A and B are shown apart, each in its own frame.
Chain A
């Protein structure tokens, strides 16, 4: 979605247009779902968290600061939704099985480099790594989403990539 177009849609949604917000949901729901699935949430849990994040976004649209990209704000809310539901969701940070309901996405993820990354990295470095390479966020945006400092993000990304490089060099699993 073009940034100008997105800004226009967000403005309309803030003015109370449900149709505009629906366009936001249609655009971001798949990305957020994938973000959660990669992190290890089941399909059901991911859907619940995305739904909660979207509702929260709708209710707090007035507090959105256009200084940041809308996606940064939305992922920050999603991150908060994950924390809020951490007690009821069993798979957050779990390095074991990907999900209980096997579907084509699980098969793709199992054979993907990111499954190796998740097995090798702690939850937070993995999240930072995905937000950067999987979602295209910059360091400052990741820092905002994860409530960390920019320096922490840079160091974490650097160490995570080095760790994976060692793994790749020792035995390529792809």
Chain B
């Protein structure tokens, strides 16, 4: 004949711990809750901003795309100006040049030639001024 142990005699350590845990009250502190809620109400929630983000995505995406295109165009079409000892305008990188529009490449070449021409004019003007200064009597 089976006899179950009485209720007041827990059979295992786990049961005794469980029973002891149930004896402890869960202190409810209304003041603490009020403080928490005040803090929560006065602080922005990051998730709210995160949810609003998709609404602004087209504008953000357009700005980023524009900036990226500008960087690419400047990188491709505005090489560094040639130095005094450089043989001429820097040629386009072959790999990049194959991918860009022919019209864009022609514009780049025109711009480089114009820059070269201006530079030559400036050098010529500088020489003329030097000659004039040296020939002027004191």
Contact = CB atoms under 8 A, between A and B. Distances in A.
A31 interface: yes
A30 B26 contact: yes
A133 B18 contact: yes
Contact of A130 (B13, B21, B33): B21
Contact of B32 (A33, A133, A161, A165): A33
B55 interface: no
A113 B32 CA distance: 28
A114 B17 contact: yes
Contacts of A133: 14, 17-18, 21
A147 interface: no
Nearest to B47: A62
Q: How large is the interface on B (under 10, 10 to 19, 20 to 34, 35 or more residues)?
A: 20 to 34
A33 B29 contact: yes
A86 to B, nearest CB: 20
Say which size band chain A's interface belongs to: 35 or more
Contact of A161 (B14, B39, B41, B47): B14
A59 interface: yes
Interface in B2-24: 13-14, 16-21, 23-24
A109 B33 CA distance: 23
Contacts of A113: 16-17, 19-20
B92 to A, nearest CB: 47
Contacts, number: 107
A116 B99 CA distance: 77
B58 interface: no
B27 A14 contact: no
Nearest to A31: B26
A1 interface: no
Given A33-B32, A54-B40, A164 B46 contact: no
Interface of A: 14-16, 18, 21-22, 25-26, 29-31, 33-34, 37-38, 43, 47, 50-51, 54-55, 58-62, 105, 108-109, 112-114, 117, 129-130, 133-134, 161, 164-165, 168, 174
Interface of B: 13-14, 16-21, 23-29, 32-33, 35-37, 39-41, 43, 45-48, 50-51
Given A55-B36, A105-B27, A113-B19, 10 more contacts: A18-B37, A30-B26, A33-B32, A43-B27, A54-B39, A59-B43, A61-B45, A61-B47, A161-B13, A161-B14
